[in-house]
Amino acid sequence: MSNVKVNTVCGEVSSSELGLTLAHEHLVIGMPGWEYDNTMAPFNRKEAVDACMETMRQIKAVGIKTLIDPAPMDVGRMPDLYREVSEKSGIHIICTTGYYSESAGASTYWKSLAAFKDVVDDIAEMFITEITSGIANTGIKAGAIKVASSEGAITEYERRFFRAAARAHKETGVPIITHTTGGTMGPEQAELLIAEGANPGNIMIGHMSDNVDMAYHLSVLQQGVFDSMDRLGLQGIENIPMDEEKYPVIIELIKTGYNRQIMLSHDSIAYWLGRRIFDQIPEEARWMLENSHPLHLFQNIIPVLKKGGVTDEQVRIVLEDNPRSLFEAR
């Protein structure tokens, strides 16, 4: 591996300094429209920062040095808040440029533009500018590109972002992080990005843990991309499998030689923008999110993996070498 410069929200750091990394967690998330609920649920920045700082304190205590927050720009991405949290905590935070899926994101803007012209170049230019010059007036540069697909399809709308992401990746060298829905389209995402010229070693296919079929994982891994088991602790909700079903898949993949292509993370959210979703969930359903916090891996999962024969060194490779390699493989 050779060192590269990585954009964090506090500026460039060498990839060799990233250390133990959580590859897919969120500080703040707000589903599109949250910002219009500001009569009943106004944004309280101090409360948000305090919640994020509590998460930082917890992950720092287990040795995490870097957190990747791949929030697309249309689900409440807040680069300047990330910078404040990074400065106060000393944890490197890497944010992304990119867009969410057609069904769950704020899709009407680019759809209306696309009615009149091919917008792939415009999207690519936006991604490249956020990576090379910075996001709006913050001076904060995106360190990766996020794209997303729907359940069972990469829609025409979403394909524009995948093509633009491949273009921006080729020009800037930064990696591509994806969101899959319902444990579908992982292999198709990898194929599309690679066909558009992206380097497999810089692609991380996300939410792979929503599918526990080994053949599905192999069809992604065999393309040389990262298989991100990044929804550990999320279970039951939206048909996501139980963690117990994910463990044998993780252990098998690590032990059969795919150790250097696996990521482990939680897709946890430190603070919900708008109404606190957790508070809206009925008591009897709360168990679904109970383990969706960034210590779950350390408290509950790693011990299970070790019982299954995974070594300390293999865990270190997954949490340290693999995220680093995602940025370095060019």
Binding interface with Zn ion (CB under 5 A): 267
Nearer to Zn ion, 210 or 267 (CB): 267
Minimal distance in Å, beta carbon 26 to Zn ion?
Answer: 6
Closer CB to Zn ion, 26 or 167, in the complex: 26
CA distances from 96 to 108, 177, 237, 284 (A): 21, 9, 26, 35
**∠ CA 12-64-22, rounded to 5°:** 80
Pick the closer one to Zn ion by CB: 130 or 267.
267
> Alpha-carbon distance 88 to 285, whole Å?
34
β-pairing verdict for 11-14 and 176-179: unpaired
Cα–Cα dist 307/309, whole Å: 5
Question: What letters, b where the CB count within 10 A reaches 16 and e where it falls short, cover 173-200?
Answer: bbbbbbbbbebbbbbbbbbbbbebebbe
- In single-letter form, the type of residue at position 285 comes to A
CB of 17 to Zn ion, least distance (A): 24
Which residue is at the shortest CB distance from Zn ion? 267
β-partners of residue 272 are 29
Smallest distance from Zn ion to CB 98, Å: 11
Please report how close the Cβ of residue 115 comes to Zn ion at its closest, in angstroms: 29
Nearer to Zn ion, 29 or 310 (CB): 29
Q: Which two tokens stand for residue 234?
A: 């999320």
> 92 or 207: whose CB is closer to Zn ion?
207
Q: Whose Cβ is closer to Zn ion: residue 71's or residue 302's?
A: 71
Which is nearer to Zn ion, 230 or 259 (by Cβ)? 230
CB of 267 to Zn ion, least distance (A): 4
Which residue, 267 or 328, is less far from Zn ion as judged by CB? 267
Give the shortest CB-12-to-Zn ion separation in angstroms.
24
Q: Report, in Å, the least distance between residue 309 CB and Zn ion.
A: 29
- Residue 164 to residue 195: CA distance in whole angstroms: 13
Q: How far is the CB of 230 from Zn ion (least distance, A)?
A: 7
Closer of 204 and 251 to Zn ion (Cβ): 204
In the complex, the smallest distance separating the C-beta of residue 3 from Zn ion, rounded to whole angstroms, is 27
Instruction: Please classify residue 301 by burial: count the beta carbons closer than 10 Å to its beta carbon, then call 0-12 exposed, 13-18 middle and 19+ buried.
Output: buried
* Both structure tokens of 33: 């429209």
